Structure 1
Amino acid sequence: MFDQYIHSHLEAQPNEAAVETTNGGGDIEEDIEKEIESLKSSSTNQKKPYTFVRLEIACVSFIRTQPPLDPVNLVLQICEKAYSGSSRQRSRYVKRLTPVSCIRKTLGNGLEQLCEEVLRPVFGDSTITKKFAIRPNIRNNEQLSRDVIIKTVADATTRLSSSHSVDLTNYDRLILIEVYRNVCGMSVVGSEFEKLKRFNLSEIYQASAHEGRSTQE
């Protein structure tokens, strides 16, 4: 499915990134790096701007991207084409696509580092006011609570510019935070998130067919 969109997408601006949902037990970053290293000997994987990482986690896949492939723009392109009805559903099993621009360990100041690296490029211009919302997703982690994440991210955003404000319904930007075990990831998406069924491809295709935007099955 990614190959279908890769060539038209690579003209996007470079971005050091990873597309991620969740990871396995132990030290997840190390597990991912080990798996990537084991795949480097394959010439097929070396030619691709992304690497499929197999971890022992039910119903979850991790895909590591390389610049200039931007995971947020790639997921947005795939979901928008599905929404418009201009593309046929090509995967029976892919449900939700969760783009993550950067990942860090949850220990120490990992969340604060993510805020600096991911939020500054979007919210750093104090001349442009943005309304934002925050959506954390926490699994298998008892150290970071939802309230702590929201406060940390909101404070970091408003420090970049006091003109930015929280708006849970009519936001300009939505900050996604994924936490699983000892890893947290972050990305910033636009107001199309709800229209695109929170990037749930299965629901997008079903809605597209029901509303008559697609003539293909």
Structure 2
Amino acid sequence: MRMAYGVLAGFLASATAASAATIDFTDASVWSSGASTQTVFGSTVSLSASGGAINFTPFDGGAAVPGLASINDGVGVNDDEVSPRETLTVMFSAPLFLTAVSFLDLFIAPDGSEEEFAIGSSDGAMLFTVSAVQDAAAGEPGFATYVLPTPTVVSSITFTVGGTNDAQGVPDFALASLDVEAVPLPATAWMLLAGVAGIGYVSRRRYA
């Protein structure tokens, strides 16, 4: 009984420990095609798109973005970006907490009159919009990141582009990364642990 209790306690402790990871779509060793997947905290991450096919192209943003592999130029649809009438969906086989998201090729107009922005939605509800903060004319990669005020449980996230532009071509962006955390075990797991502890206590009393 003591061994069973120790094994279960160790499993629960490791499973519920604070865990965080970055899903880096600029890492070509992991993400190279629409069929690519990645397993994070037991959840398989995959991609789908409408309006075209998932596409990865080489990074062309100049200096590498700190914290990212910067080998791919993020993930896009048809080309290296998500444009109007295209959607990009990231799917998780098991729910995860979304804590942050980042983009590439998201630019402001050279005169500052308007900027591109990306929209993230889950279960039909908008989660966030992220506006450009960099200017393509300055040789920047169009990197923008957004940290959610509260970690949000998601099973999928769909990305679309907003209606304003950077005065070049059409509005577009590339998805660079997602920061996620493991969802803790449900209360039933703790009930199981308590039950095992109770059985151990009764056994000790019986043979005392």
TM-score bracket, normalised by the shorter chain, equals 0.3 to 0.5
Structure richer in helix, relative to its length = 1
Structure richer in strand, relative to its length = 2
Provide TM-score, normalisation by structure 1: 0.31
Q: Based on CA coordinates, which of the two structures has the bigger radius of gyration?
A: 2
